[in-house]
Amino acid sequence: MSIHRWRLRHISEQTMLLLLAVVVGLLAGLAAVALKTLVHYAGALVTQLSSGSSIITQHSSLIIIFFLPLAGILLTVLFVKYVVRGDIGHGLPSVLLAISRNRSELPAKNMWTSLVASTITVAFGGSVGLEAPIASTGSAIGSNIGRWFRLSPRSVRLLLGCGAAGAIAGIFKAPLAGILFVLEVLLFDLTATTALPLLISTLTAATVAYFLMGTGVQFKFDIGEQFALSQLPFYMVLGVFCAAVSLYFLRVTDRVEGWFARRRSPWLRMVIGGLLLGLLVVLFPPLYGEGYASLTALLRGAPDVLLAGAPYRVWITGPWGILGVLFALILLKAVATATTIGSGGVGGTFGPSLVLGGLSGYFIAMICNLLGLPPQDTANFALVGMAAVMTGVMHAPFMATFLIAEITGGYGLLVPLLTASAVTYLCISPFERHSIYARKLAAQGNLLTHDKDASAWHLMNMQNLIETNFVIVRTGDLLRDLVDAIQNSRRNLFPVLSAEDKFLGVIVLDDVRKIIFRNELYDSVVVDDLMHPLSEGDLVRSSDSLSDVVEKFKIGNRYNLVVVDDENNYLGFISRANTFSAYRRFISSTSEE
């Protein structure tokens, strides 16, 4: 007896799902720890090789740093081309596409390729984050484990979510944020079926991370100044500013990545992007790598670290100089991130949105303090800015809020975190309806959202619903030809076509039932006289969406609609019964209950 058959006999799918949630959480947590460890040691090795020798002068060190991002992107491109030998995937958008279109199935290679490629990119200075690659890795782990154990598509989808949640929980040691990430970013529904496996997976991953990496959090921070209600208007202003920064980040990444995509040669993209990124890193060292070291320094009240290694640092003096550098970093972080990704590097925008938010919060607090307004705590504003920009970029206000609270221990700032995130979300929603990961998929109609009805009609393929087993008759045919067609058909509708296959109308069996047995009429009655010409309300175009088809079913109370192409060539019929049956099957396959 095979293991699979034994499992089917002795272990229910729900029990198996809970057991596998532990396994997925364990593997996702190990992957998160491995990624953090790899990047740490690889980055340290690169730094040591580039500046550790006593014979390397400061001038030589700047030259080496200038070329490091190019070297990292080159190695990443070579890894993808010659080791992966195919598309490495597009991070979280590929996960969302798999959920929406591909039965939550991700290639097995995705369990390690993003992890290795992002390590190379970030260790050599690529200005991207590790969170999206590790979430993609965790998703692939969950998807493949579910398929290996031959679970149902719904269970595979849930294990995919467990993998993503576990990866986020592991890399940040933040179980609640991992669950909220899956709910808000991957657009899962929180139900009785999803809650327990997600919780088990995130707790397992976070426990693995605590055991292997200690109990410290990503940004250790003690709140020095408690929140006061009088500060609320300033946090609302911060929310508005962060919405503008988020929109700028989204627009710039679109433009820059689009520009690189139009360059046909991958080697040209690599050289241009690597050299541009190298220049940015030399001029603004905080753009090197993830940027979390600079963010940690800001939280500790040490903004001078932003100037460390900068060639112009001797000319920047006073708080206004620091403010100018902050503003430049806010503008250039988006360019650096998009350049890294567009030129061939592998990484995500999760980390950059955190860094950008911290810079934005610190910037607003400094302006308030320099202008003589009521003094604001710069570290608190940096924390709240992190959540606000993440909300604007990722459309995940609760995940952003509780992630910052978990990774900093800053629950004392829960009210300003929620306030700024809500303001940012309200301000950016009219301009961007979807997150940075989902917006392109939504534009293509490939996104499964919480609106199951709208998702079903957008994602179902109308071509699969077209019925073609109708016997056609031609204009000019006689009743005799129609009788032959009736004998060979199981349907009661007969489309009438021209000699060029243009649709002209239909004949309904009930309308000719009284004359089909009158032999004397067989050669005198022409089908044109029996045909019903149809209006636009009875027709759908092959280019129409299923939501348009459903609307016609509702308005006209029709049971069948004729499908034609844009040139009025007949394609078949689509029926109300089959359409709504397919809808019920789709909802059943994507629902967690």
> Which SS3 state, helix, strand or coil, does residue 522 take?
coil
Q: For residues 482 and 470, what is the distance between their CA atoms, to the nearest angstrom?
A: 13
Per residue of the chain (593 residues), give pLDDT as tens.
466 676 667 677 788 889 999 999 999 999 999 988 888 888 777 777 666 544 445 556 778 888 999 999 999 999 998 888 877 765 788 888 888 777 788 998 999 999 899 999 999 999 998 898 999 999 999 999 999 988 888 889 899 999 999 999 999 888 999 999 998 888 777 777 788 999 999 999 999 998 888 766 566 666 666 777 888 999 999 999 999 999 999 999 999 999 998 988 889 999 999 999 999 999 999 999 888 888 888 888 888 888 887 888 778 778 888 899 999 999 999 999 999 999 999 998 999 999 999 999 999 999 999 988 888 888 889 999 999 999 999 999 999 999 988 877 657 788 899 999 999 999 999 999 888 888 877 776 666 655 566 666 666 777 788 888 888 889 888 888 888 888 888 888 899 998 888 888 888 888 888 888 888 888 888 888 888 887 777 888 887 777 778 878 877 677 888 898 888 888 888 888 888 888 777 776 665 54
Whether 358 and 386 have beta carbons less than 8 Å apart is answered as: yes
Burial group, residue 503, by CB count within 10 angstroms (0-12, 13-18, 19+): buried
Distances (CA, A) of 21 to 108, 198, 200, 426: 18, 7, 6, 35
Tell me, what's the pLDDT at 533?
A: 81
In this structure, are strands 570-575 and 560-564 parallel, antiparallel, or unpaired?
antiparallel
**Cα distance between the two ends of the chain:** 31
Q: Which CATH number fits domain 3-213: 1.10.260.40, 1.10.3080.10, 3.40.640.10, 3.40.50.1820?
A: 1.10.3080.10
Give me the helices (H) in 317-467, please.
Answer: 318-342, 350-370, 378-394, 397-408, 414-428, 439-443, 452-459
Task: State whether the Cα torsion 578-582-585-587 is positive or negative.
Answer: negative
- As its CATH architecture, domain 229-449 has Orthogonal Bundle (1.10)
* Distance from chain centroid for Cα 470: 42
CA dihedral 512, 513, 518, 523 (to 10 degrees): 30
- Residue 83 DSSP label: I
Whether 392 and 253 have beta carbons less than 8 Å apart is answered as: no
Which amino acid type is present at position 60? S
In sequence order, the β-bridge partners of residue 129 are 348
- Look at residues 311, 307, 316, 324 and name the one whose alpha carbon lies nearest to residue 282: 311
Q: For residues 133 and 111, what is the distance between their CA atoms, to the nearest angstrom?
A: 10
Task: Kindly report the CATH number that applies to the domain delimited by 456-590.
Answer: 3.10.580.10
Distances (CA, A) of 436 to 93, 186, 440: 9, 12, 8
Tell me, what's the pLDDT at 181?
A: 92
Phi, psi angles (nearest 5°) of residue 222: -110, 125
Q: Which residue matches tokens 């016609």?
A: 552
Task: State whether the Cα torsion 107-109-112-115 is positive or negative.
Answer: negative
- Residue 151 DSSP label: -
Q: For residues 143 and 111, what is the distance between their CA atoms, to the nearest angstrom?
A: 10
Residues in the chain: 593
E-strand spans in 51-94? none
Per-domain residue ranges of the chain: 3-213, 229-449, 456-590
Q: For residues 88 and 341, what is the distance between their CA atoms, to the nearest angstrom?
A: 12
Burial group, residue 191, by CB count within 10 angstroms (0-12, 13-18, 19+): exposed
Whether 398 and 180 have beta carbons less than 8 Å apart is answered as: yes
Tell me, what's the pLDDT at 522?
A: 82
> Which SS3 state, helix, strand or coil, does residue 541 take?
strand
Q: Which residue matches tokens 């301000």?
A: 427
Whether 162 and 198 have beta carbons less than 8 Å apart is answered as: yes
Tell me, what's the pLDDT at 54?
A: 45
Q: For residues 168 and 162, what is the distance between their CA atoms, to the nearest angstrom?
A: 10
Distances (CA, A) of 83 to 32, 75, 110, 113, 344: 22, 11, 13, 9, 15
H or E element in which residue 499 lies? none
Instruction: Work out the angle between the directed axes of helices 378-394 and 232-261 (0-180°, nearest 10).
Output: 50
Examine domains 3-213 and 456-590 and report if their fold is the same. Answer: no
Whether 571 and 564 have beta carbons less than 8 Å apart is answered as: yes
The set of residues, in sequence order, having a beta carbon less than 8 Å from that of 126 and lying 6+ positions away, is 69, 72, 73, 76, 277, 289, 340, 345, 346, 347
